[in-house]
Amino acid sequence: MNDDEHLGEAEQWLRDRLRNADPARRDTPADSWLDDLVEETMSTNPESPGRKRWVPLAAAAAVFAVAAGSAAFALLGGDDEPAPRALTTTELTVAGDDITQMCMAVTADSIRAADQALEGTATEVTDGRVVITVDNWFKGGDTDLVALTPADPDLVALVGAIEFVEGEKYLIAAGDGQVSSCGLTGVYEPTLAALYAEAFPG
């Protein structure tokens, strides 16, 4: 990987100067950083890394419950942080049809196939509405905020397994204006984040 011998004087000068300014020269990680990282990585997926994440039905129902608001929301603390003003917003609904469906495995391909995908932080949680401050649009949008509302108010009764909590980070996929369930959407965690990173490598 070294072509120094083929460089002209000017190129060699430039490369030397860049190397002298290499930020990695100041990096002094702990001796065990790589072993720790390898161990952490493999413990995150203790079985075959190729295995599919099977999403329990409860997770599918959870999204509905979250957008439906009321009792499912964990209302944290009277935070006085103002809602962002003059920001653009994408409205998404949380679909309510066929919640008894069996979910397919979550893969990078299934995430990539979504019309919209983003990661963001729940910054406003009120009854029947969650506002997500978008940290990053992977696909299909460029607004600052995403508002989640239930497609069917009757779905309030569906109590799910997750809550949208102010300050928590989420990964969200959507199609046809509806949040995708079945594990494509969920609380930010390394395994799901890695699938999103794999789906949208840059």
Partner 1 sequence: MVSTDRQVRFTELAHSVGPPLRRFVVRRADASLVDDVLSDTMLVLWRRLDDVPADEPLPWCYGVARGCLANAQRSARRQKRLADRLATVRTDEAPDDTALHDALEQLSEQERELVRLWAWEQLQPQEIAVVLGVTANAVSIRLHRARRKLADLIAGPRKDEAAAGQEQGEERRPT
Pick from 93, 99, 115, 121 the residue near partner 1 by CB under 8 A: 121
Identified binder of partner 1 from the candidate list 9, 31, 80, 97, rule CB under 8 A: 9
**Which amino acid is located at 19 in the chain?**
R
Question: Is residue 82 close enough to count as binding partner 1 by CB under 8 A?
Answer: no
- Residue pair 193/171 in contact (Cβ under 8 Å)? The answer is yes
The DSSP line for 100-166 is TSPPPPB-HHHHHTSSEEEEEEEEEEETTEEEEEEEEEEES---SEEEEEES-GGGGG---S---BT
Which residue in 115, 144, 152, 168 binds partner 1 (CB under 8 A)?
A: 144
Q: Which span sits near partner 1 by CB under 8 A: 59-67, 95-103, 148-156, 191-199?
A: 191-199
Nearer to partner 1, 153 or 190 (CB): 190
Tokens of 106: 């979550």
Least distance to partner 1, CB of residue 1, Å: 5
Residues 36 to 75 in contact with partner 1, rule: CB under 8 A? 37-38, 40-42, 44-45, 48-50
| From candidates 128, 129, 168, 200, binder to partner 1 by CB under 8 A | 200
Identify which of residues 119 and 163 has a Cβ nearer to partner 1 in the complex: 119
To 5 degrees, how large is the angle CA 93–CA 76–CA 79?
100
